[in-house]
Amino acid sequence: MPQFNSNGIAIAYEVHGEGRPILLIHGFGSSGKINWIDTGWVETLSGAGYQPITFDNRGHGASRKLYDPQLYFAHEMARDAKRLLDHLGIARAPVMGYSMGARIAAYLMLQEPQGVSCAVWGGMGLNLITGLEDSEEIIEALTAESLDQVTGRTARQFRIFADHNKADRAALAACMVTSREPMREAEVRKIEQPVLVAVGSDDDMAGSADALAALLPRGEAFTIERRDHMRATGDKQFKAAALEFLSRYASE
């Protein structure tokens, strides 16, 4: 994978095919490949005429691993995304983010309103504002010596996911401390671009899609039926709703 220097941090990325560029921002503990290639998103978007751009957030995948929690605020990771677009010479593009990636996308839109035409936020509802209460439990799960020491359902999900992906758990633990940085309601209301907020019907981590969409000047909510947080990522319903949304707003 090629890399670029984002203010001293090596960020790995891939550009897939040709077409209208669209930036894809993966979730916590994942990578560009796991979140977007393995789930069929890159193939789906390429087939619809887009040029998907995937990258590994700092601390993830093939990007540089960092162990200082102060380097993982979502608003800082949003600057990595902007620097990647600048590196590729892309002035404006639609953006998709899942879970932590949606939080990063939200900060990107707040920081660079002229650089994002529209966005799809998957796996992120009202918890963009309220945050989550299980961060400490997840950090303990990531730093435990073995999975046997992890008891909570959500914590076990994250530990199993990290182990399966052979992730750097120490880097992820540092990331978990600050990456769930809440966005103030007043800031959400400033995001004027169209946003599709898509959350699984069985997702107990994201918060309400309807409540978040209602705060956005041009927000739309979509329920991914019969899917929880982990299983909604590559769902066909989600893909169809995202493509329909992008057909209306990607070129704004």
Quick one: pLDDT at residue 154? 87
For residue 221, what is the domain's CATH number? 3.40.50.1820
Average pLDDT of the chain is: 96
Give me the residue label for tokens 């633990």: 173
**What's the rounded mean pLDDT across residues 46-64?**
98
- Separation between Cα atoms, residue 246 and residue 244, nearest integer Å: 6
Asked if the structure places residue 104 within a domain, the reply is yes
> Which residues, in sequence order, are CB contacts of 96 under 8 Å at separation 6+?
22, 23, 24, 25, 41, 105, 119, 120, 122, 242
Quick one: pLDDT at residue 49? 98
> Which residues, in sequence order, are CB contacts of 59 under 8 Å at separation 6+?
65, 66, 72, 168, 171, 172, 174, 175
DSSP summary character for residue 163 = H
Domain count, the chain: 1
Q: Could you tell me the pLDDT band of residue 189, with boundaries at 50, 70 and 90?
A: very high
Asked if the structure places residue 69 within a domain, the reply is yes
Quick one: pLDDT at residue 240? 98
Go through the chain and tell me how many residues it has: 252
Quick one: pLDDT at residue 153? 87
pLDDT digits (tens, 9 = 90+) for 137-170: 999 999 999 999 998 888 999 999 999 999 999 9
**What's the rounded mean pLDDT across residues 90-117?**
98
The closest alpha carbon to 211, from 126, 131, 130, belongs to 126
Q: Could you tell me the pLDDT band of residue 105, with boundaries at 50, 70 and 90?
A: very high
Contact assessment for residue 90 and residue 114, using Cβ atoms and an 8 Å cutoff = no
Asked if the structure places residue 18 within a domain, the reply is yes
Asked if the structure places residue 156 within a domain, the reply is no
Looking at the chain, the whole-number percentage of residues with pLDDT higher than 90 is 95
Asked if the structure places residue 171 within a domain, the reply is no
- Separation between Cα atoms, residue 63 and residue 104, nearest integer Å: 16
Q: How far is CA 169 from CA 106, 172, 221, 236, in A?
A: 25, 5, 33, 31
Instruction: Give the predicted TM-score (pTM) of the model.
Output: 0.96
Q: Is residue 134 scored above 80 in pLDDT?
A: no
Asked if the structure places residue 202 within a domain, the reply is yes
> Which residues, in sequence order, are CB contacts of 54 under 8 Å at separation 6+?
13, 14, 16, 24, 26, 32, 33, 35, 36, 37, 42
Quick one: pLDDT at residue 131? 78
Quick one: pLDDT at residue 187? 98
Asked if the structure places residue 225 within a domain, the reply is yes
What is the token pair recorded at 24?
């894809």
Domain span holding position 27: 3-130+184-249
Quick one: pLDDT at residue 76? 97
Asked if the structure places residue 176 within a domain, the reply is no
> Which residues, in sequence order, are CB contacts of 61 under 8 Å at separation 6+?
12, 30, 31, 32, 33, 34
- Separation between Cα atoms, residue 15 and residue 21, nearest integer Å: 9
